[in-house]
A and B are shown apart, each in its own frame.
Chain A
Amino acid sequence: MSAAGAVKPEPTTKGVVPFLKIPKDGQPYLAGSKCTKCGEVVAGARNQCGKCGAREGIETVTLGTTGKLYNFTVVHRNFPGVPVPFISAIVDIDGGGTLKGNLLGVEPDPAKIKFDMPVNIVIKPVPQKDKEGNSYLSYFFEPK
């Protein structure tokens, strides 16, 4: 066996969460699950329904690209290396599901952040790479 047998995989671009999908052809998107029994839509993959307990009929759906700001906080102190301040936002996605993410394009001042403001959910590359050198796409919220 050759000592140089192990092949290192080429770095690639991944989603920051498993439900951020990057198709070979076409635009990246966020995937969710819809329970056909109770109608609940959640972000991410599910085998069963956490709301009604249904074991079957969970459909994979594409989550909406717009939503409304349900809640936020302005974060001023975080772990070393995390740039502050930033806005941690809770967004109800139009069509179902809720996400937590960073709200961009708004001053991190509670007086300037409006509950229920409409936002776009955008997917963009981030500068961080993992240990294997893979690049990442993340989702963000921006005022509509």
Chain B
Amino acid sequence: MANDVYVVGTDMIKFGRFPERTVPELGAQAALMALDDCGLTIQDMQAVYSGNLFEASGGVGQRILREIGQTGVPVVNVANACATGATAFREGWMAIKAGVYDIVLAVGSEQMGSGLLGGAGGGKGIPTEGLLGSGTMPSVFAHVGLEHTRKYGTTFEQFAKVSVKNHQHSTLNPKAMYQKETPLEEVMGAEMISYPNTKLMCSVNVDGSAAAVLCSEKKARELGLMGRAVRVRASALTSDPYTPRNIAMMDFNAVTRLAAKTAYEMAGLGPDDVDLIELHDCFATAELVHYENLGIAKEGEAGSLIDSGATSLGGRIPVNVSGGLLSKGHPLGATGIANIYEVTTHLRGEAGNRQVEGAKIGLTHVVGAGSACAVHILEKA
């Protein structure tokens, strides 16, 4: 369609720990890599959408432009939990869709400490972590997994298989922080953090950045960039709809189901049309529930889907062939755009050893605590 939006350039840095660098430096690096990917410069960009969570009040987008060229274009700084990067990407998509701009830059960057995220309390009174249950992210997502166990009998071993699969995928991705296989016994025998999530079933807090150049069809043709362009078939963003237990136990299912439904409707596609998925495996427990939330498994069949190998590279519907957040790492503001980079790379047929053969349609998913969910469906143009 004439008002379709395309990804014409995208890249990510190899995620890792860079305490000596700054967030704008990391963002600038990914931005320049994405611009190089399509042979453009910051002078070609009509607006910049910058995703970052931990320095949300720090004008990260403007500071990135100080590094790579202060062209005076509008900068929008975006913070939306773990959906921050995807939300920045979506803001750029919307602006082009609306006809306001023809070409924009979306960049996500984050610098994280190490250790546990989340935890209840911190306000007035006494800390409630460990007194009123646990609000750490491993615990929150342990609750997510055990709810599935409660309903369908999903086992510790089935959850652990997610880490085995994604860590195996990571050995094919030079941009993953960790590229190390972990056999099932090692995953299940690792230090228990919050049952059933062991240490090897938790994503890694890392520093990282990723960027994408979004472009209207008219402009992409003008610039001769359609050859490697990837069409955005759908962009959906949701907040958590009311569900009864949501206050006590964050509900990442309803918010994802709503985003998936919206995205499939927008694209005029269904789960069967999708060739690969990068979904939010912040913890191994999360990946399984999202099989059902995104419609690639029937209700209660996520456990048997991982058992069958269908979500491994070479299977029916490969999930997280990048190694996922579990191996790549999870720099919150960058993650959503890094997923776009991964799927785009496969749709272009440029993913090397981990290429999903013949991939035409790919889906990205991120979900943030609080809650926010973004789903994008991309298509080889």
Contacts and interface: CB of A to CB of B under 8 A. Distances in A.
A22 interface: no
Given A90-B248, A92-B245, A73 B128 contact: no
Nearest to A77: B193
A134 B125 CA distance: 8
Given A76-B192, A138-B131, A88 B143 contact: yes
A101 B194 contact: no
Contact of B130 (A40, A78, A92): A78
Nearest to A128: B126
Given A98-B248, A110-B195, A128-B126, A75 B131 contact: no
Contact of B132 (A17, A50, A51, A71): A17
Nearest to B245: A98
A102 B124 CA distance: 20
A144 interface: no
A17 B135 CA distance: 15
A86 interface: yes
Interface in A63-77: 70-77
Nearest to A110: B195
Interface in B93-141: 116, 119-120, 124-136, 138-139
A79 to B, nearest CB: 6
B249 A73 contact: no
B134 A16 contact: no
A43 B244 CA distance: 11
B132 A70 contact: no
B340 interface: no
Interface string B131-165: 11111101100110011001000000000000000
B191 A76 contact: yes
Interface residues on B, range: 35 or more
Nearest to B124: A130
B contact face: mostly helix, strand, loop, or mixed: loop
Contacts of A43: 247-248
B247 A90 contact: no
B44 to A, nearest CB: 45
A73 B143 contact: yes
A88 B194 contact: yes
Given A77-B191, A78-B136, A88-B194, A16 B126 contact: yes
Contacts of A92: 245
Nearest to A42: B247
A102 B130 contact: yes
B185 to A, nearest CB: 18
Interface string B225-259: 00000000000000000101101110000000000
Interface in A99-144: 99-102, 110, 115, 126, 128-130, 134, 136, 138-139
Given A73-B134, A90-B245, A115 B150 contact: yes
A83 interface: yes
Nearest to B118: A79
Nearest to A72: B146
Interface of B: 116, 119-120, 124-136, 138-139, 142-143, 146-147, 150, 191-196, 199, 242, 244-245, 247-249
Shortest 4 CB-CB distances between A and B: which pairs?
A88-B133, A73-B142, A82-B130, A88-B134
16 contacts: A16-B126, A16-B128, A16-B132, A43-B247, A44-B247, A73-B194, A74-B192, A77-B138, A77-B199, A86-B130, A110-B195, A126-B131, A130-B124, A138-B128, A138-B131, A138-B132
Given A75-B142, A75-B194, 4 more contacts: A14-B125, A71-B150, A79-B116, A101-B133
